[in-house]
Amino acid sequence: MLILECPYCGVMADETDLHGDGEAHLKRFGPGSSDDDFEGYLFMRKNPKGVHFERWRHASGCGKFFHAARNTMTLEVYGTYLAQTLEPPKAIIDAVKAKHPEWEGYK
């Protein structure tokens, strides 16, 4: 029963108010892209054991999509941030690194 802080409205939202939407920061490949790129975009997933960047929607709240950095083994949440970014912000990366110095990084 996760709780995630919605970075838009500041509410500590219960999982029942949220909708999980899979891996964050997927780069869209459209017409003209290679088969590999397109398949990767649609289907290939990092699915890590550990630090995971993912998209959520505060579905029963403000309706905004946001991103979370969360550990899939411990369910620890390192932070949530706005969806309008191509990569996790530095503050989030730092928060993860502070906890896991051995972490290999977002890429």
Partner 1 sequence: MKRYSAFAIAREAARYHEGWERAWTSPTPKKKYDVVIVGAGGHGLSTAYYLGKNFGITNVAIIEKGWLGGGNTGRNTTIIRSNYLQDPSAAIYEKARSLYETMSQDLNYNVMFSPRGVMMLAQTQAEIRGYERTAHANALQGVKTEFISPAKVKELVPIINLDGPRYPVLGALWQERAGTARHDAVAWGYARACSAMGMDIIQKCEVTGVRQEGGNVKGVSTTKGEIDCDKMAIVVAGNSGSLAEMGGFRLPMESVALQALVSEPIKPCMDVVVMANTVHGYMSQSDKGEMVIGGGTDGFNNYTQRGSFHHVEETVRALVETFPIVSRLKMLRQWGGIVDVTGDRSPIISKTPLGNTFINAGWGTGGFKSIPGSGWAMAELVAKGEPGPLAAEFGMDRFTEGRFIDESVAAGVAH
Partner 2 sequence: MSTRLASGGRLIDRSKVKNFTFNGKKMQGYEGDTLAAALLGTGQTLVGRSFKYHRPRGILASGAEEPNALVNMGTGGRFEPNQRVTTTELFDGLTATSQNHWPSLEFDVGVVNNYVSRFLPAGFYYKTFMFPRAGWKHVFEPIVRQSAGLGQVPTEGDVDRYEHFYHHTDVLIVGGGVAGLAAAMAAGQSGKSVLLMEQTAHWGGRAPVDGGTIDGKNCGTWVDETVAALEAMDNVTLRIRTMGSGVYDHGYALGYERVADHTPGDGRPRHRLWRIRAQQIVTATGAIERTLSFAGNDIPGVMLASAVRDYVVNWGVSVGDRTVVVTNNDDAYRTALALKGAGLDVPVILDARPEATGPLAEAARAAGIRVEAGKAIAKVHGGKKVTGVSICAQVGEGAALEEIKCDAVAMSGGWSPVVHLWSHCGGKLIWDEAHAHFRPDPDRAPTSHDGKGFVITAGAASGAMSLADVLTDGDAAGKSAVTAVGGEASKAVAPKSDAEETQPMAAVWIMPQGAGPKKRMKMWLDFQNDVKVSDVQLAAREGYESVEHTKRYTTLGMATDQGKLSNINGLAVLSDALNQEIPTTGTTTFRPPYTPISLGAIAGEARAEIFQPIRRTPMHEWHEEQGAYMEPVGHWRRPYTYPRKGESHAEAVNREVLNTRERLGLLDASTLGKLIVKGADAGKFLDMMYTNMMSNLAVGKCRYGLMCSENGFLSDDGVVARIDEDTWLCHTTSGGADRIHGHMEEWLQCEWWDWNVYVANVTEQLAQVAVVGPNARKLLEKLGGMDVSKETLPFMQWKDGTLGGFEARVYRISFSGELSYEIAVPASQGRAFWDKLHEAGEEFGAMAYGTEALHIMRAEKGFIMIGDETDGTVIPQDLGLNWAISKKKEDFIGKRAHTRTHMADPERWKLVGLETLDGSVLPDGAYAQGDGENANGQKVVIGRVTSTYYSPTLKKGIAMGLVLHGPDRMGEVISFPTVDGTNTVIKARICDPVFYDKDGEKQNV
Q: Which is nearer to partner 2, 37 or 106 (CB)?
A: 37
Which of 11, 17, 29, 62 forms a contact with partner 2 (CB under 8 A)?
29
The nearest distance, CB 29 to partner 2, in angstroms, is 7
Which of 62, 65, 89, 97 forms a contact with partner 2 (CB under 8 A)?
65
d(CA 41, CA 79): 24
Query: Phi, psi (5° rounding) for residue 24?
Result: -90, 170
What does 27 bind: partner 1, partner 2, none (CB cut-off 5 to 8 Å by kind)? Answer: none
d(CA 55, CA 23): 6
d(CA 26, CA 40): 9
